[in-house]
A and B are shown apart, each in its own frame.
Chain A
Amino acid sequence: EVQLVESGGGLVQPGGSLRLSCVVSGFPFSDYWMTWVRQAPGKGLEWVANIKQDGSERDYVDSVKGRFTISRDNAKKSLYLQMNSLRAEDTAVYYCARGLWSLDCWGQGTLVTVSS
C-alpha cells in the first residue's frame, strides 16, 4: 500500500523556521519526482515546490523562493521542506504528493501555523 506521512508542522512565530518531513512507503521513492502542495485554512490548493528523483532539479513558486528549500533522502525514502523566514501567509496544511505533473498519491498533510 502506498503511504505518504507528513510531520513537522506546528505553531511558529513570524520570521521563524520549520522543517517538514514526508516519509513514504509502498513504492520506489527514488523513481519519482515529488511535490509539496499547500492549502490555507478554508482556501484552495497552491503548488509550492517539486524535486527530481536525484535531487538535481528543484522548482518553487515565487512566493517561497529564497525562503523554502525542498530536498530528499532516497535512502530514507524521505522528502523535506525547510521553511525559513515564515510569514503569516504561509499558514496552511502542507501536503507531500507523488509526481512531477499530475499528483497521484497524497499524504494527509501537516498543519503549519505562523502566528505571534
Chain B
Amino acid sequence: DIVITQSPDSLAVSLGERATINCKSSQSILYSSDTRNYLAWYQQKPGQPPKLLIYWASTRGSGVPDRFSGSGSGTDFTLTISSLQAEDVAVYYCQQYYSSPYTFGQGTKLEIK
C-alpha cells in the first residue's frame, strides 16, 4: 500500500498569513501515461464531512477560493493557503488515488495563531 505522510501534524498561522501543508507519498503517484499526479486535498471542519479542495494535485474543486492552491509532483506535494481566513480553521487531508487502497494522510490541523 502507498503510505501518505503529512507534515506538520498541526499548524498555527496568523490571519492573513500563508499556510503551507506538506504531503509525501511512499512512491511516485505520477502516472507516466497521462502525466497526472493522482492526489487530492480535502478540508474537514469540525462536525462536517470532508470537502474536496484540490484534485490532480493542482486543480481547484468547484467553488473553492483561489487562495487555496496545490503543487508538487511525483512524491512531494504542498497545499498552500495564501492568506489565511478564520473560516479556514480545519483539518486538511491529502489522498492518493494512484493505486488501491486509496490512502489518506493522517491529517494536519490548522489553527489561528
The interface of chain A, by Cβ under 8 A from chain B, is 37, 44-47, 50, 59-62, 95, 97, 100-104, 106-109
Report the minimum CB–CB distance from B70 to chain A (whole Å): 11
Closest 7 CB pairs of A and B: A102-B55, A101-B97, A106-B49, A102-B40, A45-B104, A61-B101, A47-B102
**Which of chain B's residues have a CB closer than 8 A to the CB of A44?**
93, 104-107
Given known contacts A44-B105, A44-B106, A44-B107, A104 and B49 CB-to-CB distance under 8 angstroms:
no
B102 A104 Cβ-Cβ under 8 A: no
Tell me the complex Cα distance, A11–B53, Å.
33
Q: How many residues of B contact A (CB 8 A)?
A: 24
**Which of chain B's residues have a CB closer than 8 A to the CB of A106?**
49-51
B106 A107 Cβ-Cβ under 8 A: no
Tell me the complex Cα distance, A73–B104, Å.
28
